[in-house]
Amino acid sequence: MDVLVTGADQRQGLAVIRSLGRRGISVVAAGPDSNSLGFSSRYAAARWVYPSPVGQPEAFVDSLCEAARKFQVRLVMPVVESTVTVLNEHRDMFESVAPLAMASREAVSLALDKRRQYLLAQEHDIPIPKTVSPTSMQEAQTQIAALHFPVVVKPNNKLDGTGASPDDFKVAFVPDWESLQKLLMAYFRHSVVPIVQELCVGHGIGFGVLMHQGQPLACYQYHRGREFMPTGGVPVRYESMPIWPKVQEYSVRFLRAMGWEGVAQVEWKAIPGTRDVVLMEVNGRFWASLPGSLHAGMEFPFWLYQSQLGEAVQHSRPYRLNIASRYLQADLKRLELVLRNTYPVSSVPLPSKWREGIDFLLDGFRWRVKGDIWAWDDWFPGFYEGWKIIKYYVSRASKRAFEPKAEG
């Protein structure tokens, strides 16, 4: 077999499997669940279920080593952050079995540490939001005085902390000092390092790039049009756009400073009415919106495969502009949030409820709007997604129908 791909349970894992499989590369799809999305793809030549990399890191590494030996793979592509993190910690042992399509140990560690990212960005004159990272309540009282509310709070490292799930510390939007105090106390209680930033108003921009020997082999920019939470988060509807010179310059400069090799995505926030941007974060892996890159003609997984094996990357045609893609399951949930007004604050101006609903419906008929999961040449994952959507809403309707009604 040619490549083992982790994260087959995620849409970016499916996108990697498809990109490689369509080029005739034999792929072992590996995921933490026997019902992983990528297992249903026609391009998965073999399938492997591994233990949770978060809950059982040593068992995960042992399982992946076993799979690499069994299928005699030429390369392992870690797709999701949890697998990147664990394999980076155990890379000496793992790389004796199979090579990893990852940057160096130090570069990956830096990509997983937001605080170090922001410090490095400041050293290289890359704009960032006003940011502090207190280690105690006493530090917080001093440092927060320089910020204006509302602020955004997020963990420095998604897998930091003891005695708490990473899900306990999601991105939070905090309106005042009293609310921030309560949240920071939870962070410090679990030894999780917080990042506190002023809320940046503006649209999100993603910049995908493949770096090789300090040079960008392929670059792609997209507008994060609709995000799961209207306050910001995972994009559920996004669209390819022309590359802004400043975005490319900053992104490549920063990745060179990191010593980055391979694929990465740099997230920016555009200042309204300008082409100025501020850095949000660097994701040192394949990004969740990778399917949109493929729809636009940017075959990042295949090009990474070529570069890792020492082959010349043949990339000459510009990507297609204004090609949109959406993750239907999450886009439906976002629509419900907007219609119900169940969000605290928005970092971008939101359309009216009518406009939001009409745009959602029209996207189903626009030729330039593709699906993250659906593909005509690989239709079973799309049917699987549709079945999950139906089950989700039927389950909610059933629970509501059988819930006891309140008296009075």
Q: What single string gives the DSSP state of each residue in 283-329?
A: E-S--TTHHHHHHTT--HHHHHHHHHTTPPP---SPPPTT-EEE-HH
**Which neighbouring-strand residues pair with 267?**
206, 281
Q: Please state, in angstroms and rounded to a whole number, the distance separating the CA atoms of residues 77 and 286.
A: 10
Strands 27-31 and 46-49: parallel
Asked whether residue 33 carries a pLDDT value surpassing 80, the answer given is yes
**What average pLDDT does this structure show over 260-272?**
94
pLDDT of residue 162: 37
> What crossing angle do the helices spanning 57-71 and 81-89 adopt, rounded to 10°?
90
Of 52-61, 118-127, 144-153, 367-376, where does mean pLDDT reach its minimum? Answer: 144-153
The answer, yes or no, to whether the previous bond of 318 is cis (omega within 30 of 0) is: no
Please report the pLDDT score of residue 167 as a whole number. 47
pLDDT value at 168 more than 90: no
CA 110 distance to own-chain centroid: 16
Percent of the chain with pLDDT over 90: 66
All structural domains of the chain: 3-101 (3.40.50.720), 103-114+202-372 (3.30.470.20), 130-198 (3.30.1490.20)
CA nearest neighbour of 129 among 108, 148, 142: 148
Angstrom distance (rounded) from CA 150 to CA 173: 7
What's residue 126's pLDDT?
Answer: 95
Residue 189: which H helix or E strand, with range? helix 177-189
What is the DSSP code (8-state) at residue 199? Answer: P
Q: How far is CA 110 from CA 83, 249, 338, 340, in A?
A: 16, 20, 35, 39
Q: Which residue has the tokens 């399951």?
A: 329
- Average pLDDT, whole number, for the chain? 90
The pLDDT of residue 1 is 85
pLDDT tens track for 73-107: 999 999 999 999 999 999 988 999 999 999 999 99
Alpha carbon separation from 360 to 204, 225, 332 (Å, rounded): 19, 12, 8
Give the DSSP H or E segment for 381: helix 380-402
pLDDT of residue 145: 85
Q: Quick check: 230 pLDDT over 90? A: no
Across the strands, what pairs with 210?
Answer: 218, 263
139-144, Cβ contacts within 8 angstroms, sequence gap of 24 or more: 140/180, 140/181, 140/184, 140/196, 143/196, 144/177, 144/180, 144/196
**Any bridge partners for residue 195, and if so which?**
154
Q: Is the pLDDT of residue 222 over 80?
A: yes
**Higher-scoring residue by pLDDT: 323, 192:** 323
CA torsion sign for 174, 133, 211, 102 is negative
Number of helices (H), then strands (E), in the chain: 14, 15
pLDDT digit string, tens, across residues 353-365: 888 899 999 999 9
Kindly state the average pLDDT of the residues 176-195: 89
C-alpha dist (Å) from residue 312 to 24, 122, 303: 17, 35, 9
Residues contacting residue 193 through CB under 8 Å, at least 6 positions apart: 115, 133, 135, 155, 156, 157, 160, 187
pLDDT of residue 223: 95
Lowest mean pLDDT among 32-46, 227-241, 343-357: 343-357
- In tens, the pLDDT along 329-375 reads 999 998 988 888 766 566 676 778 888 899 999 999 999 999 999 99
Q: Which stretch of 30-34, 111-115, 251-255, 315-319 has the lowest confidence by average pLDDT? A: 315-319
What is the pLDDT at residue 225?
87
Torsion angle of the four alpha carbons 251, 253, 255, 261, in this order, in degrees rounded to the nearest 10: 110
Task: Answer for the pair 20, 38: CB distance below 8 angstroms, yes or no.
Answer: no
pLDDT at 202 over 50: yes
How far is residue 270's CA from residue 203's CA, in Å, rounded to a whole number?
A: 5
- pLDDT value for 344: 59
Lowest mean pLDDT among 57-71, 275-289, 342-356: 342-356
Radius of gyration for the alpha carbons in the chain, expressed in angstroms and rounded: 21
pLDDT tens column, 393-407: 888 888 776 665 544
The pLDDT of residue 175? 85
Cβ atoms of residues 254 and 247 within 8 Å:
no
